[in-house]
Chains A and B, each alone.
Chain A
Amino acid sequence: MTLSASLDKDLLLEMQRRMLRIRLFDERASKMVKRGFIPGTVHTSIGQEAQVVGACMALAKGDHMTGNHRSHGHPIGMGSPLGPLMAELVGKATGVCKGKGGSLHLADYAVGSLGESGITGLSIPIAVGAGLSAQVMNEKRVALTFFGDGAANQGVLYESMNMASAWKLPVIFLCENNHYALSTPAHTVTGGRIVDRAFGFGMPGIRVENGQDVLEVYDAVAEAVARARRGEGPSLVEVMTYRFREHSEGLRINTDYRDANEREFWLSRDPVALFRAMLIERGIASAAEMDAVEAEIAQEVEDCVAFATESPDPDRSVAFADLYSDAYLLEDVL
């Protein structure tokens, strides 16, 4: 029996809620970038919701997570409230990072989100450190780090996997393989399969072929989490998925770098639609119940946009705080 088979209706609906939050939040963020309400750009997780939520829901309270530039889904997956996240994207005082991080650098320590990173692979060893502190302090928590197929070719990943394996740290290396590093097809720059690299470090490697199925992702990650919590060390989980939109919003690439048939194949596997259909088909929830869940999340997203819009801009002094723990050092800075 798979671990997900024991999930009750509440948890299954919560999975769908979190996937819907990511979908609708990112759809709205995309529009806000286009209209200039969000400065800079954003990288959406649309199409990858199952991969994000399946992994985050396999974690428990107290666990830690680090992420990357495709950044909104990770804290949302961990249960972070939408208002402060959207306010952060807009740069408001009420943002989860007081308007100083922005889309690329979200973090919500209240839900174990230690920080997204704008540099490919940068936050991977942070999760190893969270695993180290758990081991030294004899706490049963685990740490999961999200990175893409692009970061899978950064040396720091292998330093981190080796260290975590040598010390048997409770870490889950989660590769979100969406098949492209911006416009570069992963297979053209990657030798062998990413999952097979686990073997070289003496850790289990699990590949989730259908990363559009939230329960398949959940099962693979939950098993890795259980192993880590038992003190048996790290795992590598590679989840095959697809980014439905462009690398970042507003980016225009004239070359058609993605094959039309491939796109069609993946677009027909919309994780949000698939899970809705599955829940109804299995008789877990009615269509009316699912409609109600969708309406509820749509309202949450409306509310978070209103919260962000109505929130004040940060006071100028905010730019000059939080560099050091000691305020006196500012005299040197200014």
Chain B
Amino acid sequence: MTYIGAIGAAQQEAMAADPRVVILGEDVEANVYGTTGGSKQRAQQGDFVQQFGRSRIRNTPISEEAIVGAAIGAAMTGLRPIVDLSYSSFLYMAMDQFVNQAAKNRYMFGGQSSIPVVFRSAMFYGLATGAHHSDRPYPMFMGVPGLKVVAPASASDAKGLLRTAVDSDDPVLIFEAVRLWGTKEEVEDGEYRIPFGVARTRRDGRDGTVVGISGCVPLALEAARQMEARGVSCEVIDPRTLVPLDTRAIVRSVLKTGRLVIAEPAHRTCGAAAEIAAVVADEAHHALRAPIKRVAALNMQIPFNPVLEAEMYPTTERIVAAIEAVSADQLDTRTRRAGR
């Protein structure tokens, strides 16, 4: 199943399982993005409007602040909304509601509010959509205590994490990389949940740890495959959720390998990679045999021209270069041993 198909399946299961679940968003009724019905597997069941009715799946006006605020209010009074905000760059219009209501109400009101609401948005980077549609803003939201931040990198994770998000009594922001929408993975048919705060080890290794986030996970896996051929065995870890962050799994891996590269599509400054690097420096400094390397987007805006745009984000080559840099001593040894 594809990543986007898995999201559609999770939404359908959640809607069918609980009448309190509703879907709000721009263009959700017509299934414009393919997550509200109509995929090949579910075509015979009809779209969500036919299955669940217009009361529970609603096209919204283009009013992000009201959409987000109303979803919070609906969550505080009995519903469990899934909000499709389409582009992640559109979240900024509703910043006041995210930061001052969603994140603060439970705390500020002494635990009186429950805010079971999921905000899905997609990062359209690398698709020649220009500066206004290419943002990867999840680190901004990691800096807001009270929100949960999820960045699935595969189809099966996308489905299981979305179900957990709908079950959560706290606001959850899910960031999807559009580059991953078409990627396929074996996905269980039935309902299942993946707990938050549990990283997935995508590949075992001995010589170095590569943490990949969102769209950088496939790149990290490819880089690890290339390095394996050169005698460097890399462990690839996908945290899957950034708040909560499975720091233990990352630290455990670095204690084993002694080297760390972190690859993510967000800007380098104050990104998820910066946070992970700080945690590892704090908790596993003694085990590090080389400096920690970040492979992130440059601190630059995104140009439209696809060739220029490609300059901005991490690539497999850049991840390989970073692994080479942290394993230079090892590569030297192996090169000598091979008599080259």
Contact = CB atoms under 8 A, between A and B. Distances in A.
Interface string B260-295: 000000000000000000000000000000000000
Contacts of A124: 69
Interface stretch (A45-53, A154-162, A205-213, A225-233): A154-162
A219 B302 CA distance: 56
B72 A129 contact: yes
Contacts of B66: 125, 128, 156, 159-160, 162-163
B227 interface: no
Interface in B59-77: 60-61, 63, 65-77
Contacts of B50: none
Contacts of B45: none
Interface in A23-68: 64, 66
Contact of B111 (A127, A134, A156, A321): A321
Contacts of B22: 136
Contacts of A109: 109, 112-113
Given A130-B77, A323-B146, A163 B110 contact: no
A41 B112 CA distance: 24
User: Which of B70, B111, B247 counts the most A-chain CB atoms under 10 A from its CB?
Assistant: B70
Contacts of B106: 322-325
B79 A136 contact: yes
Contact of B73 (A95, A114, A323, A328): A114
A126 B73 contact: yes
Interface string B96-109: 11001100011111
B111 A322 contact: yes
A125 B69 contact: yes
Residue with the greatest number of chain A CB neighbours at <10 A, chosen from B68, B78, B169? B78
Given A105-B108, A156-B65, A322-B106, A122 B100 contact: yes
Contacts of A167: 58
Given A119-B100, A125-B97, A328-B197, A114 B70 contact: no
Interface string A151-179: 00001100110110011000000000000
Given A159-B66, A324-B170, A129 B75 contact: yes
B181 to A, nearest CB: 29
B65 A159 contact: yes
Nearest to B111: A322
B56 interface: yes
Interface in A85-113: 95-101, 105, 107-109
B114 interface: yes
A57 B70 CA distance: 24
B108 A64 contact: no
B170 A128 contact: no
Given A130-B74, A163-B60, A167-B58, A322 B110 contact: yes
B245 A163 contact: no
21 contacts: A64-B77, A101-B109, A117-B101, A122-B97, A125-B66, A126-B72, A126-B101, A130-B73, A132-B70, A133-B77, A137-B78, A143-B73, A156-B66, A167-B58, A322-B107, A323-B145, A324-B106, A325-B106, A325-B170, A332-B197, A332-B245
Interface of A: 64, 66, 95-101, 105, 107-109, 114-115, 117, 119, 122-130, 132-137, 143, 155-156, 159-160, 162-163, 166-167, 321-326, 328-329, 332-333
